[in-house]
Every structure is written in structure tokens, then in C-alpha cells.
């Protein structure tokens, strides 16, 4: 069942500030005036569908407990495949908010996107009234789109001919249908965008949403990443690249970022969605705030289709751009949620890039990879990890890098090994690096109520 639009800006009755906000929007003035040319952007809602759980509470509890979501692949017979393990989403029930008729028209990646958006909007207590709908947009990142639907439809053509292909085939597979459906279900009529930048897509989406709000184009955005690629083609393709771990006899210890015994990443699926709002807009509707987004950087390696650049210039420049955008001194950063894929070159070069940017301070930083528990969600990774970074600041607890047993001389930073850590964290980064040499970094700040 589609989410019904609310009659008011927010669930509670608006105070004086909320009435002023509503008056500005109703009067059709377009961009709202601000005392500062650069407006502040805050995270007010989080929605998660991941291998370690559904929703905030289950995700966070499992994350800080160091619980892995990796197991044997159950979706298809993978006996002929080199890697037989993945991070599958369990216990997700989209029929609770999507009708069975509509579900039949959706590839799993669309269900995940709608699910995470539903949970995020619910968490934010945000219902989009018609009078503000043009000031709320959606931007989502995705890597491969409806791959399962492509595989199944090709099989139908081979076995029964082209007439058996669903008339919804095209809408089911295109990546931009994720933000499209989210906007339809929630009535968001602002910018509606889809980014396909591989494993950096979710981070780039959140960064784009941040800039749209900061520069006055919108007041709020639904943003993040989504992916569903635990399919025969995707697993075969990544196996052919020798990118996946083959630690099939011990799946929960297979994802081991920065550990010397790492031998590939774990393919995973899911979605992470954030509600980000202009600060005064959020305050006017009485929203809770998890963290503030204060910087974004994006760069390209211009080096290789799949391998990270050994000079680490692109990744380092991306982090430095994000810090410059935030106006933050590197020494003021306490924590980085690393891309940390559990592949030999990525972990080594990301470590080098961090040391390039932070110098001696790199050894005082805490760096952890939540992919040690979730696996690699590809286009969804940046959205999920942005959510985890906001929760890290909100709860003042750093998630661990589990399965860290054998130190690698090339990876010699503090990776929060195996056990979560309470700490005072004011500034945190979230890194994402993708095929094609595309890089993204977000900077978050602890919200202290100022």
C-alpha cells in the first residue's frame, strides 16, 4: 500500500518557527532566505536493510557486537562457483508496506530501496505534505540495477519466447527507478536523481543531496544507496575477476579488511537511506538530529578500470577535498569508516592515502571497516556506511573491524580490531572508492544541539 501524504509539514503541531517556514513555502518564493549563503545540513532519519539486520536497532546492535552477516549462498546452486558465500538480507518483509500486486513489478533492488526509505522516513517522523513536495527530492546510488530480472527474463525468452517477458521489464531493471519509486511512494517532487558510480554511488548520492540542500535548491532529501546482485551472473563475473574471497568453509571469518590473510571481498546486498534536511527546516518540524553533514569530496584516479591507483593521489585528494569543503583541519578528525573491502590492494592503498592526508595524525586516528561484518554492498555500501558513521557519532561508539588477526606491515593503523570502542568523536569521515577510479568521501560532525 502506498504511503499516504500527510496534511501537514510534520506529525507535531508547528511552533512559531514552523509557521514561518510554512508561510515562506506557501507563498511560492522559491528558495528560502538564509542568514548564511552556505546552509547547514543534518541527518534526521536512517533506514537500513543489510546482511546484519533490518532497521537501526538490529543493525547497530549486531555491528557493535561484531556479528557477521556472511553465510553460504542460498539463492541458487553455487557448487560450480569459486566463491560460495555472500551477505544475504534475511527477514525482510516488504509486503508490510508494499502490496503484493506492486511487489510483482519490482526487482529485489527496488524492494530494498523502498524498504530502507520507508524505515528512514518513519524514523525521521517525516511525511511530505503537498505544499512542500517540490522542496523535497530523492537521490540514490546503485551499481548494477535489476540484474536478477535481466537473468530471469533472458531465461524466459530462451525457454518460452519473447512474449513471456513482463511489460514491466524495463522499469524493473533501470537504476533510476529506485529514486523514482521512492518519490512516488512518498510524494517527493523535488530533484529526482540516480547515480551509477559503482561502489562509490551511495556516497556520491549523499554528497549530491548535501550540496542541493546547502546551496538552497531544496529543504530535504531522501538519499543513499541500494544493490541486489547475489545472482548467477554477478557472482560468476566477480569470480572471473578473482575479486571474491574463497574462504567458503568459514564464511563469518572471510571478510577481514586490513588483515594479512585477506583474500577477496564478500558480495552483499541491501540498502542504506538517510533523510537529510536543512537545519532550520528540521528544527521547525521538531526533528531529532543524529549528526551534521559538513563536507563532501569526489575525485577520479584516471588510472585503471578496476584497480586502485598505486600512487593513491586520487583517494588522498578526495579526502583532502572533503576536509577542505568542511573547513576541517585533518588533526581534528578522530574516526574514519573506511572503504576497507578486504582485498589486497584496496586496503593497502587506502591506508597509504590516509597517511598521505593525515601525516603523523594517521596513527592517532581510529579506522574501521564495517564491511568486515556486512560484506561489500557495492552501490549500496556508501549509503549504509554513511548511516553507520552518523550512528557512530550519535552513540560515540566506534564499530570494530572484526577478523583482524594477522597484522599486515602495509596496513599499520589503528583499525579498531575485533571489539567496538567507546570514544569521544567530534569529526568522522566515510570513504568509498569504485571501479573506474571513482572516489567519494563524506565528512560528518557530532551534533551537540548548537
CB 177 within 8 A of CB 110: yes
For residue 226, tell me if it sits in a domain. yes
pLDDT band at 421; cut points 50, 70, 90? very high
Please provide the DSSP assignment of 316-381 as one string: HHHHHHHHHHHT--GGG--EEE----S-HHHHHHHHHHHHHHHGGGGGGSEEE-THHHH-B-GGGH
- Helix 201-214 to helix 381-395 angle, to the nearest 10 degrees? 60
* Domain match, 387 and 273 both: no
* Domain match, 27 and 168 both: yes
Q: How far apart are CA 87 and CA 68, in angstroms?
A: 9
* Domain match, 261 and 366 both: no
- The domain boundary residue, chosen from 291, 323, 353: 291
* Domain match, 270 and 300 both: no
Neighbours of 99 (CB within 10 A): 12
- Mind listing the pLDDT tens digit for each residue in 343-367? 999 999 999 999 999 999 999 999 9
pTM: 0.92
CB 31 within 8 A of CB 269: no
- Mind listing the pLDDT tens digit for each residue in 363-392? 999 999 999 999 999 999 999 999 999 999
* Domain match, 285 and 298 both: no
* Domain match, 263 and 370 both: no
pLDDT at 124 > cutoff 70:
yes
pLDDT at 254 > cutoff 90:
yes
Beta strand 136-142 with 192-195 is parallel
Exposed, middle or buried: residue 448 (CB in 10 Å: 0-12, 13-18, 19+)? exposed
pLDDT for position 38: 85
Q: How far apart are CA 429 and CA 49, in angstroms?
A: 22
Query: Domain containing 101: what range?
Result: 16-291
What value does the mean pLDDT take over residues 322-327?
Answer: 98
For residue 10, tell me if it sits in a domain. no
What value does the mean pLDDT take over residues 173-197?
Answer: 98
pLDDT band at 153; cut points 50, 70, 90? very high
pLDDT at 177 > cutoff 50:
yes
pLDDT band at 307; cut points 50, 70, 90? confident
Active-site residues, by number, are 199, 339, 376
* Domain match, 251 and 377 both: no
* Domain match, 72 and 172 both: yes
pLDDT band at 436; cut points 50, 70, 90? very high
pLDDT at 112 > cutoff 90:
yes
- Mind listing the pLDDT tens digit for each residue in 30-78? 444 444 478 999 999 999 999 999 999 999 999 999 999 999 999 999 9
- The domain boundary residue, chosen from 291, 315, 338: 291
pLDDT at 1 > cutoff 80:
no
pLDDT at 162 > cutoff 60:
yes
The count of C-alpha atoms lying within 13 angstroms of the C-alpha of 366, restricted to the half-sphere facing its C-beta, is 26
Residue 195 sits in a domain whose CATH number is 3.40.47.10
- The domain boundary residue, chosen from 291, 314, 337: 291
Give the number of domains in the chain. Answer: 2
pLDDT at 304 > cutoff 60:
yes
CA distance readout (Å), 105 to 99, 161, 177: 10, 20, 11
pLDDT for position 311: 86
* Domain match, 144 and 249 both: yes
* Domain match, 258 and 384 both: no
* Domain match, 247 and 170 both: yes
For residue 4, tell me if it sits in a domain. no
* Domain match, 299 and 281 both: no
Amino acid at each position: 500500500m502506498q504511503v499516504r501524504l500527510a496534511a501537514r509539514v510534520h506529525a507535531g503541531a508547528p511552533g512559531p518557527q514552523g509557521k514561518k517556514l510554512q508561510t515562506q513555502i506557501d507563498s511560492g518564493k522559491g528558495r528560502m532566505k538564509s542568514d548564511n549563503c552556505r546552509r547547514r545540513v543534518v541527518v534526521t532519519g536512517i533506514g537500513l536493510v543489510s546482511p546484519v539486520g533490518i532497521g537501526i536497532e538490529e543493525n547497530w546492535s549486531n555491528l557493535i557486537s561484531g556479528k557477521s552477516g556472511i553465510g553460504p549462498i542460498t539463492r541458487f546452486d553455487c557448487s560450480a562457483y569459486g566463491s560460495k558465500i555472500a551477505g544475504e538480507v534475511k527477514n525482510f518483509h516488504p509486503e508490510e508496506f508494499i502490496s503484493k500486486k506492486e511487489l510483482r513489478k519490482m526487482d529485489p533492488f527496488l524492494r530494498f530501496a523502498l524498504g530502507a526509505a520507508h524505515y528512514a522516513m518513519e524514523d525521521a517522523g517525516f511525511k511530505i505534505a503537498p505544499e512542500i513536495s517540490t522542496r523535497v527530492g530523492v537521490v540514490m546510488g546503485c551499481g548494477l540495477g535489476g540484474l536478477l530480472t535481466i537473468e530471469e527474463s533472458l531465461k524466459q525468452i530462451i525457454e518460452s519466447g519473447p512474449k513471456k517477458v513482463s511489460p514491466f521489464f524495463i522499469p524493473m531493471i533501470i537504476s533510476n527507478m529506485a529514486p523514482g519509486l521512492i518519490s512516488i511512494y512518498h510524494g517527493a517532487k523535488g530533484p529526482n536523481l540516480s547515480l551509477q558510480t559503482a561502489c562509490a554511488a551511495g556516497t556520491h548520492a549523499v554528497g549530491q543531496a548535501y550540496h542541493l540542500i546547502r546551496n538552497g535548491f531544496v529543504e530535504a532529501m531522501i538519499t543513499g544507496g541500494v544493490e541486489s546482485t547475489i545472482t548467477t551472473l554477478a557472482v560468476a563475473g566477480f569470480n572471473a575477476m578473482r575479486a571474491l574471497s574463497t574462504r567458503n568453509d568459514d564464511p563469518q571469518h572471510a571478510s577481514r579488511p586490513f588483515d594479512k590473510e585477506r583474500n577477496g571481498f564478500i558480495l552483499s546486498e541491501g540498502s542504506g537511506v538517510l533523510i537529510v534536511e536543512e537545519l532550520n527546516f528540521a528544527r521547525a518540524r521538531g526533528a531529532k538530529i543524529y549528526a551534521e553533514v559538513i563536507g563532501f569530496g569526489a575525485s577520479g584516479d584516471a588510472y585503471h578500470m578496476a584497480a586502485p591507483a598505486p600512487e593513491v593521489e586520487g583517494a588522498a585528494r578526495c579526502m583532502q577535498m572533503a576536509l577542505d569543503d568542511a573547513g576541517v583541519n585533518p588533526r581534528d578528525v578522530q574516526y574514519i569508516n573506511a572503504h576497507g573491502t578486504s582485498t589486497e590492494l584496496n586496503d593497502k592503498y587506502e591506508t597509504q592515502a590516509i597517511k598521505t592526508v593525515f601525516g603523523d595524525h594517521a596513527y592517532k586516528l581510529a579506522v574501521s571497516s564495517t564491511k568486515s561484518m556486512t560484506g561489500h554492498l557495492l552501490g549500496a555500501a556508501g549509503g549504509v556506511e554513511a548511516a553507520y558513521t552518523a550512528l557512530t557519532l550519535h552513540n560515540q561508539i566506534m564499530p570494530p573491524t572484526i577478523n583482524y588477526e594477522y597484522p599486515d606491515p602495509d596496513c599499520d593503523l589503528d583499525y579498531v580490531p575485533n571489539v567496538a570502542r567507546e570514544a569521544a568523536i567530534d569529526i568522522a569521515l566515510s570513504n568509498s572508492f569504485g571501479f573506474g577510479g571513482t572516489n567519494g568521501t563524506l565528512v560528518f560532525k557530532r551534533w551537540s544541539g548548537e
